[in-house]
Homo-oligomer: A and B are copies of this chain.
C-alpha cells in the first residue's frame, strides 16, 4: 500500500533489520561488499530488492570529501538543435563516469546564469560545464567557485583563464570564404552575430582574413552583423539582395542566419524577382541542404563531440589530482563540405 505524500523514504536501518544485520553491513554491501561474508551480502541484497530500497545519495554526499556525482551544465538555448547535441555529448560522457547532469537553460541571460551557477554549487556539484553568456566573469572566478572545476564550451569569457573547448571558428570561416573566392566570387556578403558574441567575432575574422589575403575589399553595405534569429536574418538578406550591386554569394556565420537567408532567396525565386541567386556558405550544418535552390557549402562540426570533449576535460580534472593546473584549450576541427 502506498502511503500518503511525505511518507518517509526507506532507510538503511529498515533494510538492516529486515535482513537481520547492522546498518554498517548494509552500507558495506552496497558499497561493493568488501569484507562482508557472501551469505550476509545475499541477505542484504534480498532485503533491498524486497523492500525496494534506494540509497539516499544526498545523505551520502553529505560527508566531506564525498563527491555528489553531479555535474552542473548551463547552456544558452536548448531549443537550438546544436545545444541539444552538445548536452547529449556531455550526458553520455557523464554517464560513462557514473555521473548525472543538472541542466539549466540560460536563454543568454546573465542573471539567470548567475542563479544557475549558485544553485549548482549549493547542490554540491563536482564540476561545472558552461556555455557562457558573454557578460562578465565575477561569478565564475575561482574564489567564488571554491574548488569546483569549470569548463567553458563554445565561447570564452574575457579575463577568465579556465579549461575551454572551442570550434575552429576562424579557420572554418576562412576556408569557407576562400572556397567562394576560388569559385570566382568577389562580392561576398556576410551575415552573422554582433562582435560582442565570441563566435560572432571569430567567424567574422575568418571571413575578413580570407578577403584581405586575396585583396578583395570588404564592402560594409553587404555586411550585416546583428541578427540573432531567423526573422532578422531574412530581413538582412532581403536588404542586401534588393541592392543594385547585390552580392553574388553570402557567407552566413551560423544556422539561424543561413535559414533566414534561404527563406528570403526562396521567396525571391517563387515570386520571380530579378537579381542574383547567391551561392551560400553556411557555418553550421542543416538537414536537406542538398535540396536547396542555390548551392550551399556547409562548414560542418559536431556539437555532440564538443560536449563530449568538454566533459572529458572536466573529468580529467576530477579524476586526476596530479594534473597540471594550467588551463587547457581544445579547438575542434570543422570540415568544409561542398554541395
State the A residues within 8 Å of B (CB): 2-10, 52, 54-59, 61-62, 64-65, 68, 70, 77-81, 83-85, 87-88, 91-92, 95, 100-105, 118-119, 121-124, 142-144, 146-147, 259, 262-263, 266, 286-288, 290-293, 304, 321
Please give the distance in Å from A267's CB to the nearest CB on chain B. 9
Let me know if A65 and B6 touch, CB within 8 A. Answer: yes
Contact status of A100 and B104, CB under 8 A, knowing A143-B52, A147-B7: yes
Is A8's CB under 8 angstroms from B118's CB? Answer: no
Q: Could you pull out 13 A-B pairs where Cβ atoms are within 8 angstroms? A: A6-B147, A9-B124, A56-B62, A58-B62, A62-B62, A78-B91, A79-B84, A87-B87, A87-B103, A100-B102, A103-B103, A266-B288, A286-B287
- Which of chain B's residues have a CB closer than 8 A to the CB of A58? 58-59, 61-62, 68, 123-124
Assess A100 versus B119: contact at CB under 8 Å? Given A62-B59, A78-B88, A291-B293.
yes
User: How many protomers of this protein does the assembly include?
Assistant: 2
Q: A112 → chain B, closest Cβ, in Å? A: 8
In the complex, A286→B288 CA distance in Å?
10
**Are A2 and B142 closer than 8 Å at their CB atoms?**
yes
Task: Give the top 4 A-B pairs by smallest Cβ distance, nearest first.
Answer: A84-B84, A78-B88, A81-B81, A58-B58
Chain B residue nearest to A2 in the complex (CB): B142
Cβ–Cβ < 8 Å partners of A5 in chain B: 147, 321
